[in-house]
């Protein structure tokens, strides 16, 4: 594939851990499909980042393939976007080490994600978890990305990437583009079905709290029927925390059907929460149906899937090698 000289380059990656949820889909993944037409788009499954926690090798392989298949199934097009699996491009690990030598200990220590994850798993505070941002720096800078779409919690990492890139450029001359973090405007913030004051998360211990992209229709309907609401039994968007549950369901329904909150309120005027929950569930089932069908096609044809990610790896490696060769020459490594 050929990137356009008239478009900026965007990079986004996702870890193959846990189960991709409706929140991931409506909040980010679906938006990637639109962004691939606006940018020279690069998407990757970040399996190197995944091993900061202990995973069974068989499970990691399976989850990596599933994540790659889902990226294709949601509508990302290999003819428009570069898609690959991170560990199939060795330049990521190599540049990560070089950049770690231009990253200060104090800068890494200030990363809030390291602090948060260290508290959650105090028995596995490994060096990879600490140096995780250096690998992220390499991910971005290898492809000379102009923009990186991130959530608020990841913006700090892109700021560190900018700092390290500027430092390297200051020493050796212009080598890296300085990336800009962008907070995507499109995308609904989907909350837990059981605790609507918290974001829907793929690591939630309560399976009724989230909808997986790959959940079957019966499971989706059952989970929505169990969704937390309130005692008012009237479908309208409210400001109080008591309305958080119904607000969340309205947000989901709006994101899937493209209907405004006002239209939704009129549609369900005089109807109870039972009718509304079923309508939301059915709308989500229809939204996810083509994604699941395409996913199942890919996962049942492993040869085609392997060919796709190998071709993606070759294209990614070609781009990455150009940057890495320049970096190695400037640092002083022999050919």
What single string gives the DSSP state of each residue in 254-310? HHHH---HHHHHHHTTT--HHHHHHHHHHHHHHHHHHHHHHHHHHHT-HHHHHHHHH
Grouping H, G, I as helix, E, B as strand and the rest as coil, residue 182 is: strand
> Considering 199, 259, 322, 328, which one is annotated as catalytic?
199
Token pair in block for residue 78:
């290999």
Spatial CB neighbours of 2, under 8 Å, sequence gap ≥ 6: none
- Flag the least confident range among 20-29, 108-117, 250-259, 291-300: 108-117
Q: What is the pLDDT of residue 118?
A: 67
CB 148 within 8 A of CB 182: yes
Measured CA to CA, the distance from residue 284 to residue 272 in angstroms comes to 19
Higher pLDDT, 241 or 176: 176
Q: What is the pLDDT of residues 61-84, one digit of tens each?
A: 999 999 999 999 999 999 999 999
pLDDT, averaged across the chain: 91
CATH number listed for the domain at residues 207-295: 1.10.240.10
pLDDT of 159 higher than 60: yes
**What does the domain layout of the chain look like in residue ranges?**
9-183+302-331, 207-295
> Considering 15, 117, 243, 277, which one is annotated as catalytic?
117
Bridge partner list, 52: none
Q: What is the pLDDT of residue 2?
A: 72
266 is catalytic: no
Band of residue 187 on the pLDDT scale cut at 50, 70, 90: low
- Flag the least confident range among 19-33, 111-125, 255-269, 274-288: 111-125
Q: What is the pLDDT of residue 19?
A: 82
C-alpha radius of gyration, the chain, whole number:
21
pLDDT of 13 higher than 90: yes
Hey, how many other C-beta atoms are within 10 angstroms of the C-beta on 259? 16
Helix (H) or strand (E) holding 12: strand 9-14
pLDDT of 111 higher than 90: no
Measured CA to CA, the distance from residue 242 to residue 238 in angstroms comes to 8
pLDDT of 122 higher than 90: no
Band of residue 108 on the pLDDT scale cut at 50, 70, 90: confident
199 is catalytic: yes
Q: What is the pLDDT of residue 115?
A: 66
Q: Which CATH superfamily, name and number, covers 9-183+302-331?
A: HUPs (3.40.50.620)
CB 277 within 8 A of CB 285: no
Band of residue 171 on the pLDDT scale cut at 50, 70, 90: very high
Say which DSSP state 121 is in: -
Bridge partner list, 11: 42
Q: What is the pLDDT of residue 223?
A: 97
Q: What is the pLDDT of residues 146-158, one digit of tens each?
A: 999 887 667 888 9
Cα–Cα distances (Å) from 235 to 74, 176, 251, 255, 266, in that order, read 30, 52, 12, 16, 9
pLDDT of 185 higher than 70: no
Measured CA to CA, the distance from residue 274 to residue 266 in angstroms comes to 16
> Considering 8, 202, 328, 330, which one is annotated as catalytic?
202
Bridge partner list, 30: none
pLDDT of 125 higher than 80: no
Question: What mean pLDDT do residues 120-131 have?
Answer: 73
Q: What is the pLDDT of residue 157?
A: 85
CB 228 within 8 A of CB 242: no
pLDDT of 186 higher than 90: no
Q: Residue 85: is it exposed, middle or buried by C-beta count within 10 angstroms (0-12/13-18/19+)?
A: buried
Q: What is the pLDDT of residue 132?
A: 86
- How many CA atoms are closer than 13 Å to the CA of 236, on its beta-carbon side? 10
* Residue written as token pair 């995973």: 55
Question: What mean pLDDT do residues 320-326 have?
Answer: 97
Say which DSSP state 21 is in: B
Query: In 74-110, which ranges are continuous DSSP H helix?
Result: 91-100, 105-109
Higher pLDDT, 137 or 51: 137
Measured CA to CA, the distance from residue 132 to residue 124 in angstroms comes to 14
């Amino acid at each position: 594939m050929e990137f356009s000289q008239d478009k900026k380059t965007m990079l986004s990656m996702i870890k193959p851990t846990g189960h991709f949820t409706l929140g991931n889909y409506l909040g980010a993944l679906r938006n990637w499909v639109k962004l691939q037409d606006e940018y020279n788009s690069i998407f990757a499954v970040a399996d190197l980042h995944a091993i900061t926690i202990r995973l069974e090798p068989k499970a990691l392989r399976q989850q990596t393939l599933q994540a790659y298949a889902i990226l294709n199934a949601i509508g990302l097009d290999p003819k428009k976007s570069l898609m690959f699996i991170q560990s199939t491009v060795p330049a990521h690990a190599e540049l990560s080490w070089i950049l770690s030598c231009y990253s200060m200990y104090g800068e890494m220590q200030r990363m809030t994600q390291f602090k948060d994850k260290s508290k959650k798993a105090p028995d596995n505070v490994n060096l990879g978890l600490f140096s995780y941002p250096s690998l992220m720096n390499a991910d971005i800078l290898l492809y000379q990305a102009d923009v990186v779409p991130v959530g608020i919690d990841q913006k700090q990492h892109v700021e560190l990437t900018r700092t390290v890139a500027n430092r390297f450029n200051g020493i050796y001359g212009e080598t890296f583009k300085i990336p800009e973090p962008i907070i995507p405007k499109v995308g609904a913030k989907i909350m837990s079905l059981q605790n609507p004051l918290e974001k829907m998360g793929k690591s939630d211990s309560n399976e009724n709290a989230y909808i997986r992209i790959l959940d079957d229709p019966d499971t989706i309907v059952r989970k929505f029927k169990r969704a937390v609401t309130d005692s008012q039994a009237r479908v309208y968007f409210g400001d109080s925390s008591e309305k958080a549950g119904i607000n969340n369901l309205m947000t989901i329904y709006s994101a899937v059907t493209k209907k405004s909150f006002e239209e939704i309120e009129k549609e369900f005027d005089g109807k109870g929460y039972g009718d509304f929950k079923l309508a939301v569930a059915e709308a989500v089932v229809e939204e996810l149906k083509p994604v699941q069908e395409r996913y199942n096609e890919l996962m049942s044809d492993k040869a085609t899937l392997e060919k796709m990610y190998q071709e993606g790896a070759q294209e990614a490696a070609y781009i990455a090698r150009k940057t890495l060769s320049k970096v190695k020459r400037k640092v002083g490594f022999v050919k």
